[in-house]
A and B are shown apart, each in its own frame.
Chain A
């Protein structure tokens, strides 16, 4: 999917001049509210049902990827089994829903056009899921090899990588948005 380039003449893509004085508190408040609303929604039964199905689908995708790459695994619901009996279950919260909500909350709070937010939300959400899938598959294999390596990767390595991944995606998106803003309103932005 080609990245749409911010364009002077494209009023839909370029952000309007920002009232700088209000931007900081508005971002902070909107980010907090969206974060609370998003995490709160995860407790709704309807959302939980969707969340559960997404989790199972991610396990199926992991299973298919392993199979396509020549590996062996059995998917049973949210559990991925190895032929030797080792199994990893993707529980609630393991599907990166909370990270995606956090990322989306920041996107919604940051001043940009709807189109930029939708684009960033889709691409960013997809990238977060891809990295989380890699995390799940790597843990599936590490767990079969060494429990201590599994624990290290799980608790430290992937924790840092997921944080970095999300921050870098958000940073990339903010830079892209600010370039569009600077191009449209050169007098107010130094970005």
Chain B
């Protein structure tokens, strides 16, 4: 509006204003693009050698003006992708689209509107097709960064319209819940056993539980369905297992193992213990599994902030990628006297040197420096 007022002052103002108005009107009524993100299991995309089946209606174009018979409509896949099957378009109208360029083995497909014009408000969608070369999806590609498909009605749209259509995820969903445990700091345990004192003190304690499941929806938005490369909902082999790694302070721990029960009495698989992490392999899918640790008899270390860093790796399985868990509660391991190890104040050390010591040292250093610099044969007074 301000631009128009400015132009009004010139001799050609009406013509210029009319041009701007027409451009603005055209922009306001531009065609739109929408769609349904195809979010694949990245590990299975690798197994499928980068060939996936794309569901229908991946991208939908809504016309804002009439696309006349004989006009051209172009679809372009993300960089590196190509059509593995003959692409086709569907419409809410009656027209038929003839493929006149690109297609199988090509990144783009060019269609000609054949039998009837596509009128404003009608939609054009991609029918199901096979896509090859989707190697970019072999690593996790979040929905927010989905790879775009573009559509353009040549002669109508000044630039191609883009929609983020291809994403990928780990394929596995892991829910983690930490436990609350205490280290008995009082005698006779002296921090070597879990418990709060008395006969219930034990060298073994459960520290967490997890459930590994097929990933149904993406981790970030929890709204986009995860697909197998064949276009059906994501599924994993029932024999798949994962390896869980929990990072914390595991000083004084001799053993870590999985258990089918929270009382640690039904061990499944032993894991490995390091000072700063424990790992347990062979965690099955679709079952709640508990993780237990056993002290060596040496003083146990607290983990007051719990297990905030937990990862799942596929182990010998190949149809899901390593993933961070959904950590519902990190748990914690504290001393029975509190998460700060002991309640009494610590002995405070005095400085490395007292003020007197510092003065003496300063004097000694100065004397030594001056003595070594004194002129030959001259006594330093």
Q: Could you tell me the distance in whole angstroms from the C-beta of A3 to the nearest C-beta in chain B?
A: 18
Contact of A5 with B by CB under 8 A? no
Known A74-B301, A83-B190; judge A170-B365 contact (CB<8 A): yes
Q: A74-B301, A174-B372 are in contact. Are A167 and B361 (CB under 8 A)?
A: yes
Most chain B C-beta atoms within 10 Å of own C-beta, residue among A94, A99, A159, A175:
A159
In the complex, what's the smallest C-beta–C-beta distance from A17 to chain B, in angstroms?
Answer: 13
Stretch binding the partner chain, chosen from A6-14, A23-31, A45-53, A113-121: A23-31
For the complex, is B360 an interface residue (Cβ under 8 Å from A)? yes
Which of B42-50, B261-269, B347-355 is found at the contact surface with chain A?
B347-355
Which residues of A in the span 46-90 have a Cβ within 8 Å of any Cβ on B? 67, 72, 74, 76, 79, 81, 83-90
Cβ of A2 under 8 Å from chain B: no
Q: B275 at the A/B interface (Cβ < 8 Å)? A: yes
Evaluate contact between B357 and A89: CB separation under 8 angstroms. no
For chain B, the bracket of interface size reads 35 or more
Give A16 Cβ to nearest chain B Cβ, in Å. 14
Binary CB contact string for chain A from 95 to 132 against chain B (1 if under 8 A, 0 otherwise): 11011001101100111000000000000000000001
Q: Does A20 contact B (CB under 8 A)?
A: yes
Which of B12-20, B23-31, B209-217, B337-345 sits within the interface?
A: B337-345
B352-A166 in contact (CB<8A): no
Which DSSP category, helix, strand, loop or mixed, fits chain B's interface?
Answer: loop
Render B280-309 as a binary contact track against A, CB cut-off 8 A, 1 for contact.
000000000000000000110110000000
CB neighbours (8 Å) of B375 from chain A are 20-21
Cβ of B353 and Cβ of A167 under 8 Å apart? no
Which of B341, B358, B373 is A74 in contact with, Cβ under 8 Å?
A: B341
Whether the Cβ atoms of B302 and A109 lie closer than 8 Å is no
Nearest CB on B from A40, distance (A): 14
A21 vs B275: C-alpha distance when bound (angstroms)? 60
Cβ of B376 < 8 Å from any Cβ of A?
yes
Contact present for A159 and B368 (CB under 8 Å): no
Taking the nearest CB of chain B, how far is it from the CB of A93, in angstroms? Answer: 3
The 8 A-B residue pairs with the shortest CB-CB distance, nearest first, are A87-B346, A93-B351, A72-B299, A83-B299, A83-B191, A106-B365, A85-B342, A81-B341
Residues of B near any A CB (own CB < 8 A): 185, 190-192, 251-252, 275, 298-299, 301-302, 340-342, 344-354, 357-358, 360-362, 364-366, 368-370, 372-377
| 27 chain-A/chain-B pairs, Cβ below 8 angstroms | A21-B375, A24-B374, A27-B370, A27-B373, A31-B369, A72-B298, A79-B346, A83-B192, A84-B190, A85-B185, A88-B346, A91-B348, A94-B352, A96-B352, A102-B358, A103-B365, A158-B352, A159-B354, A162-B361, A163-B353, A167-B365, A170-B365, A170-B368, A174-B368, A174-B369, A178-B372, A191-B372
